[in-house]
């Protein structure tokens, strides 16, 4: 009986993940820091690490 149930179950085809154009993905590449309200670009690891510190000030991009 179990053998019949396994054969009757058909899995949907596996479709590779499709990524949209960079303009469509831009919404997910940044966020607003809840501590200092600065926009953090997730593609810049330095910014991500800076904004993980508790009680930090906005990041100075001139330095």
Give the pLDDT score at 28: 79
Give the confidence band of 39 by pLDDT, cuts at 50, 70, 90.
very high
Global pTM value = 0.55
Q: Is the pLDDT of residue 50 over 90?
A: yes
**Average pLDDT score over the chain:** 77
Contact, 14 vs 28, CB < 8 A? no
Contacts (Cβ under 8 Å, ≥6 apart) of 37? 58
Contacts (Cβ under 8 Å, ≥6 apart) of 19? 25
**Mean of pLDDT values over 10-25:** 60
More reliable by pLDDT, 63 or 33: 33
């Amino acid at each position: 009986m179990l053998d019949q149930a396994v054969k009757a179950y058909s899995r949907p085809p596996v479709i590779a993940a499709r990524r949209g154009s960079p303009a469509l993905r831009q919404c997910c590449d940044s966020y607003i820091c809840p501590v200092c309200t600065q926009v953090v670009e997730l593609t810049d690891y330095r910014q991500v690490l800076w904004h993980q510190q508790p009680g930090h000030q906005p990041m100075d991009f001139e330095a």
